[in-house]
Structure 1
Amino acid sequence: MTAKKIEQKSLLAGIFVNFLMSCAGILVYRTTHIEALFVDAYFSVITFFSAIVSLVVSRLSSHRSKMFPGGFFVLEPLYSLFQSVLTVVLLSMSLMAVGLKAYAYFVHGEGSVLDVAPVVPYEMIMILLSWSLSYYYKKENHKIHNLSTMLFSETQGTFVDGTMSLGIGAAALILFFIRPNSSLGFLRYTGDFFITLLLVILTIKMPLQVIRSAFGEISGKLLLNPEIHRWIDICLKKHP
């Protein structure tokens, strides 16, 4: 099976899994109205649509024409760059939204108790699906010597999604045992702010790394990956 076929097969599997995760995430968010779940749910939605786009890009990138004799491979890092920038924007907007909610509670005493009961079982399923898909992407990309920028981007994205689910699930479990009238009761009103802040701190590094890598590829940066260098050397020695 060619590298492109492996890439496209992996992306197609990811589309199916991300569709299930997106539907479940939106349903639980609309039930609980926890802002951290908004981040988790719509991160899955973005991943779902980006997987569809990546499959289209994968099929187009190897096509050649008179104007582009080398193909359209620049679409791959361009896609990864766009996806990662969108992730950073989403994280920033969600942090601002929960920040305003926390401000309203601490300053004006306005807010409502978070319904965290459905969150823990949902997040356990999301962790299993996300990290399994991330491992699958990584394994398939390794088969083609990590040549796929898109599979690398999807690996990072789904791992971030699983990490976010882990953070939300752990925090929800703690919040579940806190009574609203206790000394820590304020967390039942503002817990989504602290959860979202923690998620941003934990996950912001990965999309920034993808942005740096994709921008370097678009701008013609020298290829420094030693594994790819070895693979090229082997090919050249076999076909002098």
Structure 2
Amino acid sequence: MSNIVREKVSKQLIEKKTLMVGAATNLFMAFAGWLAYYLSNSQALALDGNFSFVAFITVILALRVSAIKLNKSTTFPFGQFAYESLFSMVKGLMIIGMLLMALIVNIERVFHYLAGEPANILDTDVIFIYSVMMVFLCFSLAFYYKRQNKRLSNASTLLLAEYTGVKLDGLMSLGIGITLVSIRFIDIEGYFGFLHYIGDALLIIALVFLFGKEPLTLVRHSFIELAGGTLQNTKQKQHIESIIAKHLSEDGLLVDSYISKTGSCYLVVAYISITKLETIDGKAITATKAAIEAELNQHYPHSMLELSLK
């Protein structure tokens, strides 16, 4: 087994292990959210539990995508990396749909309360315990996803999607905990007493508008990948450009470059000058291309390099 193949297999195992840890953690958080909702009467905790359960389902799907993305066929001769981008886009759309549903349900709750319909009082003791536990788990998992993806040169679209989801879940849990626990210090008979009844609904409405941008960004970047657009990660783009320039700029060969990403697969096209090419030996060009490919594969194992005349 060559070093490049061994590196690809190793990185796929890192991704698989990380996703399995994420699946188990999200399933636990989902049941914790539903139990806390039952004990506290807080719709915000029900949303948090649902969010974690959706994350669990998507991680299971991500494991399947991770397992098949390297498979090549006549239809997918370079691998099935497009499923990674498709998965990320679908996950982003699912998060957006869930946030929209939560927004509609809780706006309706506020209107029902204003119309005089009875509402349950929140149990802030349960909310406090739940929030501390969830904030710790969510941010620990987010840190784990980010650290593992860094080991993969931040190339895993799957881990990026899961990181985005669990970070959003953690921020929601933090906001829920701080806001709803603060309600316990408000006089239920006072001017702000209504917060004991619909404080969580108002909080969810605020959280949807506050954190709704991240899944939109995830969907946008995934769509650009599927459509063959240029790489959106500025740091990665600059890094790849520096590798190309290091090998081609000295002889004045490099004119321009095009870099795109589909899932964890990178397509790098280096445009070289026709006039400069005439003065350089063909074997030297072949050796230079091999050197660039070797360096790219150290950081981005699933990368393809093409040289094009311009």
The normalised TM-score by structure 1 is: 0.94
Select the structure with the greater relative contact order (CA < 8 A; seq sep ≥ 6): 1
In structure 2, the partner of 1:169 is: 177
- Higher strand fraction (1 or 2): 2
Distance (whole Å) between structure 1 residues aligned to residue 232 and residue 95 of structure 2: 26
> Match for residue 24 of structure 1?
32
Which protein has the larger Cα radius of gyration, Structure 1 or Structure 2? Answer: 2
- Give the corresponding residue for 1:5: 13
Question: TM-score, normalising length from structure 2?
Answer: 0.73
Match of 1:237 among 286, 292, 301: 292
**1:35–1:94 contact (8 Å) kept in structure 2:** no
Aligned partner of 2:64 in structure 1 is: 56
Between Structure 1 and Structure 2, the one with more helix by share is: 1
Using a 3 Å threshold, how does the CA distance of structure 1 residues 54 and 238 change in structure 2: closer, same or farther?
closer
Percent identity, aligned pairs only, is 33
Q: Give the counterpart letter for 2:222 in structure 1.
A: A
Among 75, 81, 86, the residue aligned to 1:67: 75
The equivalent of 1:143 in structure 2 is: 151
Alignment of 1:40-55 (within 5 A): 40-55=48-63
CA distance in 1: counterparts of 2:232 and 2:32, whole angstroms: 40
Distance across 2 between alignment mates of 1:64 and 1:132: 35
Name the residue aligned to 1:187: 195
Q: In the alignment, is the contact (CA less than 8 A) between 1:18 and 1:47 conserved in 2?
A: yes
- Cα pair distance change 1:183/1:225, threshold 3 Å: closer
8 Å Cα contact 2:41-2:121 kept in structure 1: no
Between 38-47 and 100-109, report the one with greater CA deviation: 100-109
C-alpha RMSD of matched pairs (Å): 1.8
Letter in 2 for 1:63: N
In 2, Cα distance between equivalents of 1:83 and 1:237: 34
Gaps of 5+ in 2: 1-6, 245-289, 296-310
Matched length: 240
Corresponding position of 1:130: 138
